Protein backbone atom coordinates (compact mmCIF):
# COMPACT_ATOMS: atom_id res chain seq x y z
CA UNK A 1 0.00 0.00 0.00
CA UNK A 2 2.88 2.37 0.76
CA UNK A 3 4.42 1.75 -2.66
CA UNK A 4 1.10 2.40 -4.39
CA UNK A 5 0.70 5.69 -2.50
CA UNK A 6 4.31 6.66 -3.25
CA UNK A 7 3.68 6.00 -6.95
CA UNK A 8 1.14 8.82 -6.90
CA UNK A 9 -2.20 7.03 -7.00
CA UNK A 10 -4.84 9.47 -5.71
CA UNK A 11 -6.03 8.92 -2.13
CA UNK A 12 -9.05 6.64 -1.93
CA UNK A 13 -8.46 4.80 -5.21
CA UNK A 14 -6.68 1.93 -3.46
CA UNK A 15 -7.29 1.08 0.19
CA UNK A 16 -5.79 -1.76 2.21
CA UNK A 17 -8.10 -2.59 5.10
CA UNK A 18 -7.17 -5.23 7.65
CA UNK A 19 -9.26 -6.78 10.38
CA UNK A 20 -11.66 -9.59 11.20
CA UNK A 21 -13.83 -10.47 8.24
CA UNK A 22 -16.89 -10.69 10.43
CA UNK A 23 -16.43 -7.01 11.31
CA UNK A 24 -14.47 -5.27 8.56
CA UNK A 25 -15.61 -7.52 5.73
CA UNK A 26 -19.28 -7.20 6.60
CA UNK A 27 -18.94 -3.41 6.86
CA UNK A 28 -17.27 -3.26 3.44
CA UNK A 29 -19.92 -5.44 1.84
CA UNK A 30 -22.72 -3.31 3.27
CA UNK A 31 -21.16 0.12 2.64
CA UNK A 32 -22.79 1.95 -0.29
CA UNK A 33 -19.58 3.90 -1.02
CA UNK A 34 -17.52 0.80 -1.82
CA UNK A 35 -17.95 -0.13 -5.48
CA UNK A 36 -15.59 -3.11 -5.76
CA UNK A 37 -13.99 -5.79 -3.58
CA UNK A 38 -11.08 -8.10 -4.32
CA UNK A 39 -11.00 -11.19 -2.09
CA UNK A 40 -8.46 -13.98 -1.69
CA UNK A 41 -9.36 -16.82 0.64
CA UNK A 42 -11.64 -19.76 1.20
CA UNK A 43 -14.43 -20.87 -1.09
CA UNK A 44 -17.01 -20.51 1.67
CA UNK A 45 -16.16 -16.89 2.41
CA UNK A 46 -15.79 -16.11 -1.30
CA UNK A 47 -19.30 -17.40 -1.90
CA UNK A 48 -20.56 -15.17 0.92
CA UNK A 49 -18.77 -12.16 -0.60
CA UNK A 50 -20.27 -12.87 -4.05
CA UNK A 51 -23.78 -13.33 -2.66
CA UNK A 52 -23.62 -10.13 -0.62
CA UNK A 53 -22.27 -8.14 -3.57
CA UNK A 54 -24.93 -9.50 -5.93
CA UNK A 55 -27.72 -8.68 -3.46
CA UNK A 56 -26.98 -4.94 -3.67
CA UNK A 57 -28.08 -2.64 -6.45
CA UNK A 58 -26.13 -1.51 -8.24
CA UNK A 59 -24.17 -4.74 -7.96
CA UNK A 60 -20.67 -4.34 -6.55
CA UNK A 61 -17.77 -5.46 -8.73
CA UNK A 62 -16.13 -8.53 -7.19
CA UNK A 63 -12.86 -10.32 -7.90
CA UNK A 64 -12.47 -13.67 -6.15
CA UNK A 65 -9.52 -16.05 -5.86
CA UNK A 66 -10.70 -18.96 -3.77
CA UNK A 67 -8.87 -22.01 -2.54
CA UNK A 68 -5.69 -21.56 -4.58
CA UNK A 69 -2.52 -23.46 -3.64
CA UNK A 70 0.05 -21.86 -5.97
CA UNK A 71 0.30 -24.68 -8.53
CA UNK A 72 3.57 -24.98 -10.38
CA UNK A 73 5.29 -27.20 -12.90
CA UNK A 74 8.81 -28.52 -12.32
CA UNK A 75 10.38 -29.42 -15.65
CA UNK A 76 12.87 -32.24 -16.05
CA UNK A 77 15.78 -29.81 -16.52
CA UNK A 78 15.03 -27.87 -13.32
CA UNK A 79 17.58 -27.36 -10.59
CA UNK A 80 15.91 -29.44 -7.84
CA UNK A 81 17.97 -27.72 -5.13
CA UNK A 82 16.07 -24.55 -6.06
CA UNK A 83 12.73 -26.02 -7.20
CA UNK A 84 11.98 -28.09 -4.09
CA UNK A 85 12.35 -25.24 -1.54
CA UNK A 86 10.32 -22.94 -3.83
CA UNK A 87 7.53 -25.55 -4.08
CA UNK A 88 7.47 -26.08 -0.32
CA UNK A 89 7.46 -22.34 0.33
CA UNK A 90 4.57 -21.79 -2.11
CA UNK A 91 2.49 -24.60 -0.61
CA UNK A 92 2.98 -24.01 3.10
CA UNK A 93 3.85 -20.35 3.77
CA UNK A 94 1.22 -17.59 3.60
CA UNK A 95 -1.29 -20.46 3.81
CA UNK A 96 -0.46 -21.24 0.18
CA UNK A 97 -2.30 -18.12 -1.00
CA UNK A 98 -0.02 -15.68 -2.76
CA UNK A 99 -2.33 -14.41 -5.40
CA UNK A 100 -1.53 -11.03 -6.85
93 is catalytic: no
Distance CA 88, CA 81 (A): 12
Q: Which of 65, 68, 84, 89 is catalytic?
A: 65
19 is catalytic: no
Q: Which of 34, 66, 86, 99 is catalytic?
A: 99
The set of catalytic residues is: 65, 99
Amino acid sequence: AQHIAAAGLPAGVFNLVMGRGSVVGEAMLAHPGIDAISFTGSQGVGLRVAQAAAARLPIKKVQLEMGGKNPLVVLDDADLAVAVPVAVNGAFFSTGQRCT
